[in-house]
Amino acid sequence: MRDSAVNDTSIWSRGMMAVTGAQFLSAFGDNALLFATLAVLKQQFYPDWSQPVLQMVFVGAYILFAPFVGQVADSFAKGRVMMFANCLKLIGAAVICFGLNPFVGYTLVGIGAATYSPAKYGILGELTTGDRLVKANGLMESSTIAAILLGSMAGGVLADWHIVAALGVCVLVYAGAVVANMFIPKLAPARPGQSWRFTPMTRSFFNACRTLWQNGETRFSLVGTSLFWGAGVTLRFLLVLWVPVALGITDNATPTYLNAMVAVGIVVGAGAAAKLVTLKTVARCMPAGILIGVGVLFFAMQHALLPSYMLLVLIGILGGFFVVPLNALLQERGKHSVGAGNAIAVQNLGENTAMLLMLGLYSLAVKTGASIVGIGIGFGAVFALAITGLWVWQIRQK
């Protein structure tokens, strides 16, 4: 039974279904926990600028552990690594639920997420091959975004009702993810027997960084996905403060509904990318990246719910179409050069460094009293210009 699951490379194999289910629950918990923890910060009267700082301690874990988690993912069965990572997330959520420091608990969740990411994406290249990998990424992203949609809404709605209940649900969902991980087939480690001494591990990681950066295709993917996720996490926090300013609504739920609209769009965009883009035609995603920035620029100027919802769905569609092919490209090329786990760890370093920088700038802008609408307009314009520059740079490299 286990062998047939391992040898079946269909995106509907038992192994892929187990990975997708575990990822859904884990991502649901991540997003519900974020909005529940933001509600804790509001309840305890933390300043507005501390909200992006909460995410900064999360992404800081990705950066700090980047040299090590790729080797962990490639040295052990990836399904078991995912299970261990979800246990860390469960502990972090429990810390917040029991009234301890939310920044400490969220840091533990960040360490779990940093460990989880190379394994969850790296295992796709072991369960599927070739152009099926793009479809597998589409399925993974669709599952993730559905979890973002439902988890964000659940976190906000439950937090408006009872914050401790919202945190308790997060703990239970992470426990469900741990159970789901047990059904992932135990695949052979991709690169067993590597040194666990600090210097060789860090040297191996930075060699992987150099290898991927020197390749034009993987460099293109690394920069594109870093810009996308840095912008995405900043937009999420921008929405939290934009809603009361632009719409005059002060509850916890409305920002989660708006985030959910982006999630709905990404599901559609990921599906379209799986059908319309292959590893040979990845450049087709670049116009969508430019239009993301344009969409954010127009969104920031809205003062009514309906056009805001419509623009965020469109931004999500463009985002899904943009990022899914870039992820697949990196996984395929990285698997044959530095190992899938190491490739995703390098990607995580780039993405989370971009998040840290963008969140830091956003937090600084909020602390200095800059207009939230002005921040949104400037953010959209800069993102569109950055993706345009990346596209031109890639064309010139060929």
pLDDT digits (tens, 9 = 90+) for 273-319: 878 887 778 888 889 999 999 999 899 888 888 899 999 999 999 99
pLDDT band at 19 (very low <50, low <70, confident <90, very high): confident
CB atoms within 10 A of CB 10: 13
Query: What tens digit of pLDDT does each residue of 239-248 get?
Result: 888 888 888 8
Residue range 249-269: average pLDDT? Answer: 83
What pLDDT, on the 0 to 100 scale, is given for residue 32?
92
Beta carbons within 8 Å of 318's beta carbon, 6+ residues apart? 265, 269, 288, 289, 291, 292, 295
C-alpha–C-alpha distance, residues 49 and 25, integer Å: 29
Separation of alpha carbons 97 and 101, rounded Å: 10
390 vs 125, higher pLDDT? 390
- Considering all CA atoms of the chain, what is the largest pairwise distance in Å, rounded to the nearest integer? 60
DSSP state letter for 243:
I
Does pLDDT of 5 surpass 60? Answer: no
How much is the pLDDT for 124? 75
- E strand or H helix at 278: none
Residue 363's alpha-carbon distances to 50, 291, 311, in angstroms, are: 8, 25, 24
Burial of 69 (0-12, 13-18, 19+ CB in 10 A): buried
Cα–Cα distance for residue pair 342/118, rounded to 1 Å: 7
Residues 6+ apart with CB under 8 A from 7: none
Whether residue 126 has pLDDT greater than 90: no
Rounded Cα–Cα distance for residues 249 and 243 (Å): 6
Question: Residue 130: is its pLDDT beyond 70?
Answer: no
Name the band, by pLDDT with cuts 50, 70 and 90, for residue 172: very high
Query: Is 16 in contact with 136 (CB distance < 8 Å)?
Result: yes
* Distance, CA of 373 to CA of 370 (rounded, Å): 9
Torsion of CA 339, 343, 344, 348, to 10 degrees: 150
* CA nearest neighbour of 148 among 31, 37, 254, 265: 31
Residue 16 near residue 79 (C-beta atoms within 8 A): no
77 or 115, which is more confident? 115
Q: What number of other Cβ atoms are within 10 A of residue 263's Cβ? A: 26
Nearest to 104 by CA among 170, 58, 168, 47: 58
Q: Quickly state the pLDDT bin for 259 (edges 50, 70, 90).
A: confident
Taking residues 218-222, report their average pLDDT. 87
Measured distance CA(243)–CA(373) in Å, rounded:
10
- Count the alpha carbons within 13 Å of 167 in the hemisphere toward its beta carbon: 21
What pLDDT score was predicted for residue 168? 93
Residue 249 tokens, joined: 């609504």
Collapsed DSSP state (helix, strand, coil) of residue 129: coil
Can you tell me the distance from the alpha carbon of 342 to that of 313, in angstroms, rounded to the nearest whole number? 33
The overall average pLDDT reported for the chain is 83
